[in-house]
C-alpha cells in the first residue's frame, strides 16, 4: 500500500480514542465504609483514580498430539487481574477503605473473615466482599451536558488482592503520594455508546 496521509486520516475520522479520557466508578462493601459514606467514597475514587486499564482476556489452548503434529483446540477463558493507581489525600479515606476491605476478607491478626463479608451481595443489600466496578472511556466531543461515554466495562464480583506500599522519602519534594490496588474479579461485561450490552 502506497503512502497516503489523506487515507490514513480518513481511517481515523474521530481522531482516535484518547487514554486520558476515562473515569473509574467503584463500589465499596458496607464493612469498608467506616470512614465516609458509600457515595462519598465512590465520588472521591472517581476523581482520585489516576490510572486504570480497559480489561483484556485470554482463551487458553488445548494442544493434542496427532501423527507428530500438534493440533490446537480452544480452551477456557481467563481474566487477568485489574490494577488501578490512586492519588492519596491526607485523610487517607480511600486507602483506609481499601485496607478495611482486605481486612474484612482476611484479618491481620486472627486469620478470620468479617461476618458482613460472608453475606451474599445483591442489588438491594451491598454486603459480602465482592462488588461491581466500572471503567468508562469518554470521547473528545462534548455534548451540552458532558462528554460522551464511548464504552463502559463492568467488572463483576470484584475484590482487592494487593495494596502496594507507599514509599516515603525526605527528598521527595513537590510530589503527592500514590498507591496501586490490584483486584481479581469473575468476568467483565462491555456496554456500548448506545447503552446496549456489547459483550457479556
Structure confidence by residue, pLDDT tens digits, 111-124: 888 887 776 655 54
Average pLDDT, whole number, for the chain? 88
Q: Say whether pLDDT at 82 is over 90.
A: yes
Q: Could you give all domains of the chain from N- to C-terminal order, each with its CATH number?
A: 17-53+71-199 (2.30.110.20)
Q: Which DSSP state fits 102?
A: H
pLDDT at 105: 93
- CB-CB contact of 184 with 161 (8 Å): yes
What pTM does this model have? 0.85
Mean pLDDT of all residues in 87-108: 94
d(CA 103, CA 93): 15
d(CA 25, CA 19): 16
- pLDDT tens track for 41-58: 999 999 999 999 999 999
Mean pLDDT of all residues in 76-104: 95
Q: Which residues of 137-152 are buried (b: 16+ CB within 10 A; e: fewer)?
A: bbbeeeeeeeeebbbb
Report the range of poorest mean pLDDT among 59-68, 102-111, 172-181.
102-111
Name the residue among 129, 48, 132 with its Cα closest to residue 82.
132
User: For the chain, what is the total number of helices (H) and then of strands (E)?
Assistant: 3, 10
Amino acid at each position: 500500500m502506497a503512502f497516503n496521509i489523506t487515507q490514513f486520516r480518513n481511517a481515523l475520522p474521530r481522531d482516535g480514542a484518547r487514554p486520558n479520557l476515562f473515569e473509574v466508578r467503584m463500589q465499596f462493601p458496607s464493612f469498608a465504609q467506616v470512614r465516609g459514606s458509600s457515595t462519598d467514597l465512590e465520588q472521591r475514587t472517581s476523581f482520585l483514580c489516576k490510572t486504570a486499564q480497559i480489561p483484556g482476556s485470554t482463551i487458553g489452548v488445548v494442544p493434542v498430539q496427532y501423527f507428530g503434529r500438534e493440533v490446537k483446540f480452544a480452551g477456557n477463558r481467563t481474566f487477568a487481574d485489574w490494577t488501578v493507581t490512586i492519588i492519596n489525600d491526607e485523610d487517607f479515606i480511600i486507602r483506609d477503605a481499601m485496607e478495611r476491605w482486605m481486612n474484612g476478607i482476611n484479618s491481620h491478626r486472627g486469620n478470620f473473615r468479617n461476618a458482613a463479608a460472608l453475606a451474599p451481595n445483591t442489588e438491594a443489600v451491598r454486603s459480602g466482599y465482592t462488588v461491581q466496578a466500572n471503567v468508562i472511556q469518554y470521547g473528545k466531543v462534548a455534548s451540552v451536558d458532558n462528554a460522551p461515554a464511548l464504552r463502559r466495562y463492568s467488572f463483576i464480583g470484584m475484590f482487592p488482592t494487593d495494596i502496594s506500599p507507599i514509599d516515603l522519602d525526605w527528598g521527595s519534594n513537590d510530589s503527592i503520594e500514590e498507591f496501586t490496588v490490584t483486584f481479581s474479579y469473575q468476568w467483565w461485561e462491555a456496554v456500548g455508546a448506545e447503552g446496549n450490552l456489547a459483550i457479556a
